Structure 1
């Protein structure tokens, strides 16, 4: 937990919080002694002037305590909130720069919990540490010393009370700590089930699984709620028990103190101040216990956050990366005997992939579901790294490029069409922030998206909902294709990005790509399920179980490749022949 705070929390804020806390404790410890002086020297002797004089001191110490406490709380809150702010920024920065291998290790729902709930736990415990954890031991020691000075015989009461408190706190820790730790994993589960329900609501309705999903969420919710109730019951029980111990201690102090006063062994004022110190001792002890109850939960949260920071990317960058050339022209992309397997997988997902493409060429990749098509194109921008073999761009191994530079050379359209909340213009400029409206309209034209964009009176300023939910599936795909085309790149990768388009739109879009002057100087990689989408490619790779089982033009493969013929035959029945 302290490792997370290092470099993210100002040492001067901590020093300031400690100094104000010491001032507050010092002021609080002086007030009972002044009360004792008023009773012993003022009330007993009827000295009104003395009472006013000491009373003004008490008011002064009270105001000083309030000011110091407010300053301590302000500084502690500022420091802990800034810690949370920096932690969230660092976690998000880590996630954004993760390789896909790293990202696959932690569920999305858990990542959200770690960025929000876990960070809040860290913030809360640091506020407590800068307040209670520092104040409690100082108050405990100071009050014990001053109580002993008032009457050392009465302090023997604490030899009975403190062990009772210790046993009670031990039981509290034993019962509460495991439940506090469990809160985070139960929050993960609740978030996961809720997120799955939200993202899959259409599927749930289509298969009439509403009741099943409601029961699943109810189970996770009940588990989380019951754990939270148990925690609150334990904590709720603790406060009356503490009050009982404090009240019992006060009764014992009054009982034995009265005997000492009757024997004229102790002034009345000392008994009053002793009771105040006793309350400070017990409250300090209990506050310290509360901190130790909260720390395990925060420690669990800190461990979960640290797991994110400890993820080590399998993608290594060259210390002296080669320069990139992203201008249209002569580019080449070559796979040389490439193997790849996912982390912890027994079998490789790609084996001995070997092909080459030059500027102006279109490479089609086709194959059955699970044949490795997406895995192959994910290697081009180095979302993953090859296990064996080499991928080179313009004659240089991809590993010799800086990741940012490499991805500047590649424009990628993923399987899932993702748009971001904002205006359409902002989405189109995602890959090229300084793109002109003319460039955007040109890309929209190639992507066959001009018509429905112009239908809106706002044009490029029309609002895009999260995930592009205010567009149809085909419109989203065309907009993501246009966004990729706005960016100037050496390689354009379309990972099954035409699947939601009708045959006519698919054909016209591909013809527009082929006729565009810039695209004629770039390499185009198209992954598809439909033969028609890749039929006019210069080179078609046929994948089966991660292996290239055929390579050539449509006519060549149609006459000689069995797998390709099977795909054609399966699609002829659907009228999907080229």
Structure 2
């Protein structure tokens, strides 16, 4: 936790929080002493003037204690909340810059838990540290000293009481701490199941699997609940037993103090003060025990957050990266590319070699799982090649700054993703300075202008995930967004799959005729032969291996794998017609 707080917490804020806390403790310890004097020298002797004088002092010290307490709470709250804010910012920033390998190591649901629940645990511990953890030891030592000053004989009671509390708190920690740590993992599981249920609700309904998913959620929910019940039941036992110990301590003090007063060995005021100090000692010990129970849970959360922040990416920029120049023509090269996923035994891509110039279209086709999406993920450097090289505008993608590289590429992912807001905001995602005319031009190319005009134009509201549009409309809008960005390489990852044949053909025709696209390289990943047939070059992948490269005519004549794809789709089309 100290590692997380080191650069995210103001040292001055902590210092002043500690000073305010010390002031609060000193005033709290001084008040019982004033009460003792008021009883001994004012009430016992009937000295009204002394009572008024001592009362005014007590009022002044109480006000001062409130001021110190307010200052400490304010600074502790600001510090803990500020720490949480910076942690969430750092985690989110880290996630945005993660490579795909890093992202796969943690998982979406766990990242959500770490950004919310785990950060809250860190905030709570920070607050407790600046309040209880600082107050408790100072109060414990100070109250013990003051109690001894009032009566040394009565302090022997603590020789019995404190060991009992130590044993009791030790037992509670032994059982509670592992359960608190387990709650974070169980929260991850609960979030995972709940998130899958939310995102897949349509599939669940379509397959009438709501009962199955409900049971799956119930299992995770019950598991979390059982763990929470156990730990909070243990904690619930702690408070009444601590109260019992405190009450027993008070009885012992009154019993023994009463005998001392009867024998005139102790003043009444001293016994009242001693009782207050005794409660401060026991409360301090209780606060320390609470801190020691919750710190392990906070440490578990800190370890989980550190694991995310300390992830080291294999994808790093050179200290002196090469720079793209505007006068260099667009190009894309795969030079004998081999790629292997992290920890995999076999290569996912083998021997991919292709070279495309500005104005040309490269298509990639192959069966499901053949490595098409993997190949295009190497272009923006979401993954790094194992051997060989991927080049954009003649430069190896490993030799240029990642942001500069990704600025040269406009990507339409396999799953169309739209963000909540207006259509204008979505289209300008890659080019914030785009004019409305440029946006409409992109919509025209993407065959989206008609249905957008029928809505509210560029001010059409887009729901989260674009759920107010059909699958084909979302794909076309995602394509339009990519076209708004001025790039050297346009990548369409199976982005025409939800389009009918006519719309697919019209869109590709519009792409070929656009003057801006003619200056760039277009990469199309497709399942349908009709989508890739007019490409200048077609890469044929089979089980991660490049088994063919050429035009549609060349491959149809000379490549068995490509011919099988063509024949299977022709046969499928005939079967449908029949």
> Does the CA contact (< 8 Å) of 1:20 and 1:71 recur in 2?
yes
Q: Deviations over 1:522-573 (max 9, x none)?
A: 1000000110000000000100011110111111111111111111111112
CA distance in 1, matches of 2:280, 2:566: 84
1:253 paired residue number = 253
Q: Deviations over 1:379-404 (max 9, x none)?
A: 00000000111111222211111000
CA distance in 1, matches of 2:315, 2:238: 51
Deviation at 1:228, TM superposition (A): 1.4
> Does the CA contact (< 8 Å) of 1:498 and 1:506 recur in 2?
yes
1:308 paired residue number = 308
> Does the CA contact (< 8 Å) of 1:326 and 1:489 recur in 2?
no
Deviation at 1:94, TM superposition (A): 0.5
Is residue 330 from structure 1 mapped to residue 329 from structure 2 by the alignment?
A: yes
2:428 paired residue number = 429
> Does the CA contact (< 8 Å) of 1:326 and 1:490 recur in 2?
no
> Of residues 526, 529, 550 in structure 1, which corresponds to 2:527?
529
1:339 paired residue number = 338
The SS at the match of 2:322 is: coil
CA distance in 2, matches of 1:151, 1:326: 87
TM alignment of 1:403-482, pairs within 5 A = 403-456=402-455, 458-482=456-480
> Does the CA contact (< 8 Å) of 1:99 and 1:383 recur in 2?
yes
CA distance in 2, matches of 1:59, 1:65: 10
1:2 paired residue number = 2
The SS at the match of 2:61 is: helix
> Does the CA contact (< 8 Å) of 1:326 and 1:488 recur in 2?
no
CA distance in 2, matches of 1:455, 1:331: 37
> Does the CA contact (< 8 Å) of 1:109 and 1:192 recur in 2?
yes
2:219 paired residue number = 219
The SS at the match of 1:148 is: helix
> Does the CA contact (< 8 Å) of 1:359 and 1:522 recur in 2?
yes
> Does the CA contact (< 8 Å) of 1:147 and 1:277 recur in 2?
yes
1:47 paired residue number = 47
TM alignment of 1:26-65, pairs within 5 A = 26-65=26-65
2:353 paired residue number = 354
Deviation at 1:208, TM superposition (A): 1.5
1:13 paired residue number = 13
Is residue 189 from structure 1 mapped to residue 181 from structure 2 by the alignment?
A: no
Deviation at 1:60, TM superposition (A): 1.0
2:292 paired residue number = 292
CA distance in 2, matches of 1:239, 1:431: 57
CA distance in 1, matches of 2:412, 2:104: 20
2:554 paired residue number = 556
TM-score (norm 1): 0.98
1:497 paired residue number = 495
Q: Deviations over 1:197-237 (max 9, x none)?
A: 11111111122111110000001111111211222211111
Which residues of structure 1 form unaligned runs of 5+? none
Deviation at 1:269, TM superposition (A): 0.9
CA distance in 2, matches of 1:516, 1:562: 34
Q: Deviations over 1:296-341 (max 9, x none)?
A: 11100000000001101111101112221357x7222111111111
Is residue 567 from structure 1 mapped to residue 565 from structure 2 by the alignment?
A: yes
Deviation at 1:183, TM superposition (A): 1.1
CA distance in 1, matches of 2:189, 2:113: 10
> Does the CA contact (< 8 Å) of 1:495 and 1:527 recur in 2?
yes
CA distance in 2, matches of 1:306, 1:433: 34
CA distance in 2, matches of 1:484, 1:237: 60
CA distance in 2, matches of 1:341, 1:57: 77
The SS at the match of 2:490 is: strand
CA distance in 1, matches of 2:383, 2:274: 69
Deviation at 1:263, TM superposition (A): 1.6
RMSD value, Cα: 1.1
Aligned length: 575
CA distance in 2, matches of 1:392, 1:107: 30
TM-score (norm 2): 0.98
Q: 1:120 to 1:177 in 2, by over 3 A?
A: same
1:265 paired residue number = 265
CA distance in 1, matches of 2:345, 2:323: 37
CA distance in 2, matches of 1:66, 1:555: 87
CA distance in 1, matches of 2:177, 2:316: 41
1:392 paired residue number = 391
2:103 paired residue number = 103
CA distance in 2, matches of 1:495, 1:215: 36
Which residues of structure 2 form unaligned runs of 5+? none
CA distance in 2, matches of 1:325, 1:229: 63
> Does the CA contact (< 8 Å) of 1:326 and 1:409 recur in 2?
no
2:483 paired residue number = 485
The SS at the match of 1:478 is: helix
